Structure formats: C-alpha cells, structure tokens
Structure 1
C-alpha cells in the first residue's frame, strides 16, 4: 500500500444555490474536512479494505465531507474513498469524524 501525501481541498461554490448549500448553522468544522491522501480522519479505527480483484490492502485516496445542513451525511459524516493503485478498483464508506 502506498500512502498519498495529504492535500487539503477547499470547496468553491460558484452559484448562489451552491453557496446556500454549503455550511452548517450549528457546526463550524463539518463541511471543511475534504482532502486527498494522508490518513482518514475518524472517531474510530478504520480497517483499510482489501481489493476485491487482487486482495492487496487498498490506498486511502480521498475524504469527502458532508456539504451542509441540507445535504448532511449521517450526522456530519464523511465519505472515505480507497483505491487499489494496481487494479483501479475503488471502495468507499461513510464514517464519523471528530468535529
């Protein structure tokens, strides 16, 4: 498994509708935890999945945070995306992160 260096991502909503969708009225951290690489943020230990095609441990590729109050993922959860850099197979799951 190869670790990707952590690269923070900052959302840039381009329309008024998108600007209104971003953010939480009651949580200042949720919606700001988007990133590529590094280690997944989580309130519990995450077992990295194994590739269904070659059985190798997959690489953590990205973390996509909840967007805002109207598009919340399981109480401010994030989507963790894993990839097999050999096969191109992906796996994703929703987890809770520290807020």
Structure 2
C-alpha cells in the first residue's frame, strides 16, 4: 500500500527544542521529515520484508536528523516501514543526498 506524501514540519515548543534544530554547515538536513510518499535515498527493492508474512513492507515515514547536537551519523534519516496485513514494523537508518 502506498501512502500519499505528507510533509512534517518541526514545531518546537520550548527554547531548548528550538535550539536543537538546524545544522551549521547543512541547510537541507533537518527538513526531510515526512509521512508516506517515496523515501529519500532508497528504492523499493531495498524495503524490508515482513518477518511474519515475508511480503514487502510499505514505506510509512521518514524522520530526518534534528540538528548538529542530535545528528544521526552524518545527517542520515530513519525510514519506517509497516506491513498493513500483519502490523509488523521495521526501520532502517539510511544516508540520503543533502
């Protein structure tokens, strides 16, 4: 099942959270959060298979690195996947172009 893309925009509620956002040397990282659509940097062939039914999982969400203080291994993103038949989930940490 393919989910339509829904862009997620960080909305920090505290001063500490506002200060956590952003990168000194990168303007793209930290802006790639989304639900659905196509994952950045990987193809469908790289999607995991469900452990229970062995079918390919659906891309569900992408969470970007937050900022310099909470950087995921050189601005990587977390890709989340779900099996809509078994409701199993999986995630991958992947490098995307910035």
TM-score normalised to the size of structure 1?
0.94
Q: CA separation in 2, counterparts of 1:16 and 1:40?
A: 30
Aligned length: 97
Once the two structures are superposed, residues 31-86 of structure 1 have per-residue CA deviations (whole angstroms, 9 ceiling, x without a partner) of: 000000011101x5461111001111100000000000000001000000000011
Q: CA separation in 2, counterparts of 1:84 and 1:4?
A: 12
Q: CA separation in 1, counterparts of 2:54 and 2:95?
A: 26
How far does residue 98 in structure 1 lie from its aligned partner after superposition? 1.2
Aligned to 2:54: 55
Aligned to 1:86: 85
How far does residue 97 in structure 1 lie from its aligned partner after superposition? 1.0
Runs of 4 or more above 2 Å deviation: none
RMSD: 1.0
**For 1:34-53, what aligned pairs fall within 5 Å after superposition?**
34-42=33-41, 45=43, 47-53=46-52
Structure 2: which 5+ residue stretches go unaligned? none
Aligned to 1:76: 75
Structure 1: which 5+ residue stretches go unaligned? none
TM-score normalised to the size of structure 2?
0.95
Q: CA separation in 1, counterparts of 2:47 and 2:24?
A: 33
